[in-house]
Structure 1
Amino acid sequence: MSLDSWAVPSNTGSMELTDTTPVHLIHVDPDVNMARFYGIELQPTLFGEVSVLRTWGRIGTNGQAMMVTYDDEAQAADALHELERQKRRRGYVPAGT
């Protein structure tokens, strides 16, 4: 048996996400000196779960981060869309618009 067969990675597809588009939102209001960002993205874990990574803070800083892990991609995608909806209601708009 050749050792080359051991070097070929198996493609199980468990690490690929179907909805991997990260969300980048900003809220800028010069009247009150506000310039904030909010980012949300899905990341697979090594154990087959999916994490929602949130980053937020003042534009120009590293900000803060928080990660919440869900059992499957559907739950994580629902959480991502709900967070995006909440932030848009508070005045955040997609970056670059």
Structure 2
Amino acid sequence: MIVHLEHIDPAKNMYRYYQLYLSPSLFNDWIIKKDWGRIGQKCRHNFREALSFSSLSEAQSALEKYIQAKTQHGYKII
């Protein structure tokens, strides 16, 4: 599962994206990979952080918390 969020505010020259990737790993756990940066930058999809969870429900709960935190800071799900 991929969640793409953006925060665009031309008045502040703000063009940001944030992506979360939820996927199973090879070792029977679940991984959330995070990627963020400026929209239009050349180097995208360089995962900046990866977190491991022992169960899918634990990973989904963490994913929901990350989404909630970003939407509270003005990001919108695309």
TM-score by structure 1 length?
Answer: 0.72
Between 1 and 2, higher relative CO (CA 8 Å, sep ≥ 6) is seen in 2
Give distance in 2, aligned partners of 1:57 and 1:92.
13
Larger Rg: 1
The two structures, once aligned, show a CA RMSD in angstroms of 1.2
- Total equivalences in the alignment: 75
1:88 lines up with 2:52 in the alignment? no
Match of 1:68 in 2: 51
Give distance in 2, aligned partners of 1:66 and 1:75.
17
Q: 2:31 aligns with which of 36, 45, 51?
A: 51
Q: CA deviation at 1:63?
A: 6.2
Give distance in 1, aligned partners of 2:45 and 2:25.
23
Give distance in 2, aligned partners of 1:60 and 1:50.
30
- When you count strand as a share of all residues, which structure comes out higher? 2
Structure 2: gaps (5+ residues): none
Structure 1: gaps (5+ residues): 1-19
